[in-house]
Chain A
């Protein structure tokens, strides 16, 4: 269970990116986070695994106070939280296999890992996860030799290596064409349903939201303006979330 209480983030330049946001996510939900560009979606996701320091408020993952831990404890919490990025964030000059294996860094012996040594079972797991996302044959290519869709699959495989309990996906399909977008979303859905991993996923397209998520949370200028089932977003709600001038497409 993820609990976010009165979360506020004010950037150093004074931008209020999150304004007193509170919500709870029971295990196993697929939550879509929606909102205009600049509404604070990325900030919210990054506060949860502390890539960004919250200004005030609390974040709890089960009985761990994510918002207040640091050092070793933070690392132990992070390894249970997978993250998938819009721009994939692979290490271009490393191989696909190395990129996937790096998902184990929170678990393995630090000294062995610096020498790029991983236990055989991790290597097997890496191949299995690549198999699962359908690119096992690319294991020994350099990451920058892959297409966008393939790169995002590497990103998913890397997150799966963490044996996560929670996956944060920040616009995972915004850089992909619609066909690929659906394939990536299906992978996430499968992970959510088969492995019972909670997914928080920010999305731009409402049709994707309605097709894949079980719940939607909407932000507008850092404030939570909607929290409910995706089907409930009618024209009235839409205008509240995206503003009066916005026009619904798709």
Chain B
């Protein structure tokens, strides 16, 4: 058998080069200049963008955690307790709120956060836990926590 068309195929490129490049150009549509028009420039930038996107998924979680930590420690500072003590006191009282919830409460429900800080410091006081940094009395001493049956609840084994 004689294959005559093979001689013709020598000079034509792959049939789906257009669509292969279109996949890259769609991702580069919002770039500037040659980066969105020329394939060899675009493909480098698109690959970098994809790598940054992959790495940023973990960074976003870390950034949110840092933001929440900042907000919680700012709110704790206002109530004269350290973030570490607050965390310790809430854990010992079996109040297992995560950073997101605590920062939301600190921003949107400040009185609730004040009560939580008071509960945490009361629990640490009952446990005889001494943190080397707390000097001042907790705010909310006019919260009248004695009316709430707090000490009994805190003294239960958690």
Are these two chains actual partners, yes or no? no
- Give A residues with C-beta under 8 Å from B: none
